[in-house]
Amino acid sequence: MKRVMFVCKKNSARSQMAEGFARTLGAGKIEVTSSGLEASQVRPEAIATMKEVGIDITNQYSKPLSDFKAEDFDVVISLCGCGVNLPSEWVLRDVFEDWQLDDPAEQPEIFPRVRDEVKARVEGLIAKLTEPVEA
């Protein structure tokens, strides 16, 4: 089972939504957590926006990347273009992607659009990570 780390600047919105979708849509297929270059708090708008699609992230909390070891993860996904700020061991995992999604913290009205973009990306990621390998 692939272990996935979603990382963002503050682990307050995009990475939290990605973790929520990945936990729900990838249950039993992937292991997932999220973190930030610095820890903060999960934004109430992220919780509310996820609730609208039936996913409860109220128990998730913001965690600093420094609490984790890169070698414990197979896949690292940056959601904010912060890949350039990550220590190299994080960028050199089996899979590294930088999704560069808009930050809804600056414009709360775009939370639903960003949520839907996160969901589509997470669905694609799960499909890619769980497709059978041809012999």
8 is catalytic: yes
**Distances from the Cα of 23 to the Cαs of 29, 82, 84, in angstroms?**
9, 22, 26
80 is catalytic: yes
Which contacts qualify for 89-93: CB closer than 8 Å, 24 or more apart? 90/5, 90/7, 90/65
Q: Which of 8, 65, 82, 114 is catalytic?
A: 8
Q: Which of 5, 57, 75, 80 is catalytic?
A: 80
Helix axes 44-51, 14-25, angle to 10 degrees: 30
- As a whole number of angstroms, the longest Cα–Cα distance in the chain is 47
What's the Rg (C-alpha) of the chain?
14
Q: Identify the DSSP state of 134.
A: P
Catalytic residue numbers, as ranges? 8, 80
